[in-house]
Amino acid sequence: MDVTRKYSCRKCLLREMDKNAYMENLYVYIDRIEEDSKADKAVYEDRLAVCKECKYLNEGLCGACGCFVELRAVMKNNVCPYEKW
């Protein structure tokens, strides 16, 4: 089965999608990012650990910038808006 066809909804807002479906869609998107654009796996996990302890984390979103923290953390050149990583 083509995962992108199962979870991709180009004309849906997140609030209109099943919560599990949009999270799956996010992980499919992350998987498709070119490896040379991604942070090292250890760096990614360290960043997520910092985010888990942050008071701005709310249901996977950063309250400071509104991003999905897992998407921001996976990108090599991204930084935390509060300079925590």
Range of the domain at 27: 1-32
**pLDDT for res 7:** 46
Q: Are residues 50 and 64 in the same domain?
A: yes
- Give the confidence band of 10 by pLDDT, cuts at 50, 70, 90: low
**Per-residue pLDDT tens for 12-52?**
666 776 777 777 888 999 999 999 999 999 999 999 999 99
Question: Residue 78 and residue 67: Cα distance in Å, rounded?
Answer: 11
pTM: 0.76
Question: Residue 83 and residue 76: Cα distance in Å, rounded?
Answer: 15
Q: Are residues 20 and 51 in the same domain?
A: no
- Considering only residues 10 and 15, tell me which one the structure prediction assigns the higher pLDDT: 15
Q: Are residues 40 and 54 in the same domain?
A: yes
Q: Are residues 22 and 47 in the same domain?
A: no
**pLDDT for res 20:** 77
Question: Residue 82 and residue 8: Cα distance in Å, rounded?
Answer: 31
**pLDDT for res 12:** 63
